[in-house]
Structure 1
Amino acid sequence: MNLKFCRFDGWPQLLMAVLLCTVASANPTDSTEPCDESQFVCANGHCINGHFRCDNDDDCQDGSDELECILPGQTCTISEFECENRKCIRKWYVCDFDNDCGDGSDESNCNYPDVPCGEDEFRCSNRRCIPTLFRCDYVDDCRDRSDELDCIRG
């Protein structure tokens, strides 16, 4: 059902119009016409009422109206990781051996695989391997400071 204009006269008709227009706007239209500014364009090309975006209901029937949503009390989207400093990074950057957050929170509490380190590598406490040259260089290369412990500095 594609109702472009919902207009009825009288109280019973008005109630029916509200019900019909709400149902019609909640369901995606199969129109090839572009969506208007009050509508959300689904990935499949359908248009839905903009109010139905990010309502935890798949109104587009392809899930696109529920992607990249910010939940109440949240600053990052569902596909992002919120750093301790409130910065948002993509989830796949978490535990990738790179301090993407800038505060190290995306690399803390990581369970790195127990892979043997190479001949010229140092095994960090968190099981990460770093070049031996990076040990005791005043830089937290392990992201857990274990490469800067027990160093003899002269």
Structure 2
Amino acid sequence: MKQSTYLTRLLITLIALGASLTACQQQAKHTESASAEDSSTAKSATQPDTLCFQQIEGKDSTLLQVVRNGSAITGRLDVLPFEKDRASGTLKGTESGNQITADWQRSGEGMTQIYEVVFTLTGNSITWREGERIEKHGKWILKDPAQGYDYTLMKTDCH
């Protein structure tokens, strides 16, 4: 009888120990999985996203590269008309919703000026308005944002 009681207690102890180890392993797997997910989420949240756009009309081309890092935007805008003065420079700004407001360090015609540019993202394209500009607080802004002409660039592969 003592041996039977001893075996019963031993069996119960082994079952309890096994269940405890299984629970610990499942908790460790869950922690490792959650940790890996947190790590990949944090990595994707901090990795910049680069988008490229272009417009080609005849021999004229316009190229735009936008680098998103959260709501912060950097990039480059190159307006390259075939037989006219070209304008190129870096961008720095912020994104809110589908709109990017940026300062363009526009170099062209032998000088560099800061142009305020407002881009609107729509599907696979990006648009911005250009027109007559006036200088305000050291920055060239559109005199009348409702007038002018729109550049519409289509999304393309970045090279």
Larger Rg: 2
Richer in helix (by share): 2
Q: For this structure pair, what is the TM-score category when the shorter chain's length is used for normalisation?
A: under 0.3
TM-score under structure 2 normalisation?
0.26
Higher relative contact order (CA 8 A, sep 6+): 2
